[in-house]
A and B are shown apart, each in its own frame.
Chain A
Amino acid sequence: MKYRLGIDVGGTNTDGVLLDRNMQVIHSLKTPTTEDVESGIYNTINRLIEEAKVDVKNIEFAMLGTTQCTNAIVERKKLNSIAIIRIGAPAGTSIKPLVGVPDDLRGILGGHSYIVEGGHEFNGDEINALNEDKIRSIANEIKGKIDSVAVTSIFSPVNQSHETRAAEILREVLGGEISISLSSEVGSIGLSERENATILNASIINVAKITAEGFEKALQYNGIDAKVFFCQNDGTLMSKEYTLKYPILTVACGPTNSLRGASFLANNKDAIIVDVGGTTSDVGVLVNGFPRQSSIAVELGGVRTNFRMPDINSIGLGGGTVIHLAEDNTFKIGPDSVGYRLLEEGLVFGGSTLTTTDVAVGLDIVNLGNPELVAHLDKELLTRIYERMVEMIEETIDKVKTSAADTPVVFVGGGSVLFPNEIKGASEVHHPANGGVANAIGSAISQISGEIEKIYSISKENREEILKQAKDLAISETIKAGADRETVEIVELESVPLAYLPGNATRVKIKAAGDLAIEV
Chain B
Amino acid sequence: MRLIGKEEIEDIAVGAALLGTGGGGDPFVGKMMALQAIEEHGPVKLLDVNEIDDDDLIVPCAMMGAPTVLVEKLPSGDEALQAFTSLEKVLNKKIKATMPIEAGGVNSLLPLALAATTGLPVVDADGMGRAFPELQMVTFYLNDVSTTPMVLADEKGNSLVLNTIDGKWAEKIARAATMVMGGSAMNAIYPMNGKQVKQSCIYYSLTLEENIGRTIREAKNNKRNAIDAILGLLGGFKLFTGKVTDIERKTDGGFVRGMAKIEGLGSNKGETCYLEFQNENLIAKTDNEILCTTPDLICALDTETALPFTTEGLRYGSRTTVIGIPADEQWRTKRGIEVAGPRYFGYDTDFIPVEQLNGKRGK
Contact = CB atoms under 8 A, between A and B. Distances in A.
A501 B256 CA distance: 10
Interface stretch (A188-196, A224-232, A445-453): A188-196
Nearest to B79: A94
A295 interface: yes
Contact of A90 (B66, B78, B250, B319): B78
Contacts of A192: 28-29, 32, 71, 74
B76 interface: yes
Contact of B179 (A95, A155, A502): A502
Interface string A18-39: 0000000000000000000000
B76 A99 contact: no
Contacts of A127: 73, 155-156, 182
Given A94-B33, A399-B317, A402-B316, A89 B76 contact: yes
A93 B263 CA distance: 44
Contacts of B113: 94
A189 B317 contact: no
Contacts of A400: 317
A400 B317 CA distance: 6
Q: In which size bucket is the chain B interface?
A: 35 or more
Interface of A: 88-96, 99-100, 119, 121-123, 125, 127-128, 154-155, 189-192, 295-296, 399-404, 496-502, 504, 506-507
A382 B189 CA distance: 67
Interface string B100-115: 0000000000000100
7 contacts: A90-B76, A91-B75, A94-B33, A123-B183, A154-B72, A191-B71, A500-B279
The majority secondary structure among interface residues of chain B is mixed
Given A94-B76, A122-B73, A155-B73, A402 B245 contact: yes
Contacts of B35: 99-100
Interface in B56-75: 65-69, 71-75
B77 interface: yes
Contacts of A94: 33, 36-37, 74-77, 113
A393 to B, nearest CB: 16
Contacts of B36: 94-96, 99
B327 to A, nearest CB: 23
Given A95-B29, A154-B74, A504-B251, 11 more contacts: A92-B75, A94-B36, A122-B68, A155-B73, A399-B317, A403-B245, A497-B251, A498-B256, A501-B66, A502-B179, A506-B251
Contact of B68 (A92, A100, A154, A189): A189
Contacts of B71: 189-192
Contacts of A500: 65-67, 175, 183, 254-255, 279
A92 B315 contact: no
Nearest to A154: B73
Contacts of A95: 29, 32-33, 36, 74
Nearest to B114: A94
A148 B21 CA distance: 43
B235 interface: no
Given A122-B183, A402-B245, A500-B175, A191 B73 contact: yes
B249 interface: yes
A459 to B, nearest CB: 11
Contact of B74 (A91, A296, A507): A91
B313 interface: yes
A400 to B, nearest CB: 6
B232 interface: no
Contact of B69 (A496, A501, A502): A501
Nearest to B64: A500
Contacts of B155: 90-92, 127
A404 B262 CA distance: 11
Contacts of A403: 245
Contact of B32 (A99, A128, A155, A506): A99
B316 to A, nearest CB: 4
Q: Which of A95, A401, A402, A506 has the most CB of B within 10 A?
A: A95
Contact of B73 (A121, A497, A504): A121
A504 B179 CA distance: 13
B241 to A, nearest CB: 14
Given A122-B69, A191-B72, A402-B245, A501 B179 contact: yes
Given A90-B76, A94-B113, A127-B73, A499 B245 contact: no
Contacts of A100: 32, 35
A128 B251 contact: no
Nearest to B258: A497
B317 A401 contact: yes
Contacts of A191: 71-74
Given A94-B36, A399-B319, A497 B77 contact: no
A191 B70 CA distance: 9
Nearest to B113: A94
Contacts of B77: 93-94
B72 A189 contact: yes
Contacts of B75: 91-92, 94
Which 7 A-B residue pairs are closest in the complex by CB-CB distance? A94-B77, A497-B251, A500-B66, A121-B182, A91-B155, A499-B256, A90-B76
A87 to B, nearest CB: 12
Q: Which of B113, B254, B312, B315 has the most CB of A within 10 A?
A: B254
